[in-house]
Amino acid sequence: MYVQIYKYEKQQMSKMNQTTAKTTIIMGHPTPESSLANKTIIEKVEKELENVEIRKLGALYPDYQIDVEAEQQVLLESDVIVLQFPFYWYSVPAILKQWIDSVFAYNFAYGREGDKLKGKAFIVSTTVGGPQEAYHPTGYNHFRMDDLLRPLEQTAYLAQMDFRTPVIGHGMIFVPGVYNTQEEVINRATRQAERLLSAIREAVPQPVQ
């Protein structure tokens, strides 16, 4: 009897976690409305995921003046934090770097009292213009994507967050008549959105069967 009660309570708690868990996606594209791949990903995730907030930095802060208090409050209320961005010069776009520098502050994300993000799931989702084979020691870009994303992994580590496997999409550049077709990029972005949805759901406690 006690085993049954315990199992029932555990099921209820897991269901509650699944229902109430909040995901926040930090959209780091400087001009989100002109994006093809990132816009496709965001639209699909927003349509299919419950309790998700999208923070489009390019639209919120065109002057790059980040509202640190507001952004920190959003993170405090989140269980899963996703950075969604195009891969610019082997890094994040300038506005996302400004956001990280401002929001992941001393005694908030790190430092003696900086445990406010401890245990929160941290997912990197990035769109890359080049093909996967270009990101290899013998390839055009010399390094693997996992290596180039180490600074973000270390950021999560310092903030005591749960760094999840990055979600990476290649061949996302669209230049009419030069690189890819619009349909190809949309299809790739849709598949990346599906992988991102799976990653988010895996990061949220699942109900006990």
Q: Give tens-digit pLDDT for 143-163.
A: 999 999 999 999 999 999 999
Number of Cβ within a 10 Å radius of residue 78: 21
Q: Which residues are catalytically annotated?
A: 129, 135, 142
Q: Measure the CA–CA gap between 170 and 151, rounded to whole angstroms.
A: 20
What the block records as the tokens of 136 is: 């290899």
Q: Measure the CA–CA gap between 82 and 52, rounded to whole angstroms.
A: 10
Q: Give tens-digit pLDDT for 87-138.
A: 999 999 999 999 999 999 999 999 999 999 999 999 999 999 999 999 999 9
Chain centroid to Cα 139, Å, comes to 26
Q: Give tens-digit pLDDT for 37-86.
A: 999 999 999 999 999 999 999 999 999 999 999 999 999 999 999 999 99
Please report which confidence band the pLDDT of residue 19 belongs to, taking 50, 70 and 90 as the band edges: low
Domains annotated for the chain, with CATH where assigned, are 2-203 (3.40.50.360)
| pLDDT at 12 (0 to 100) | 40
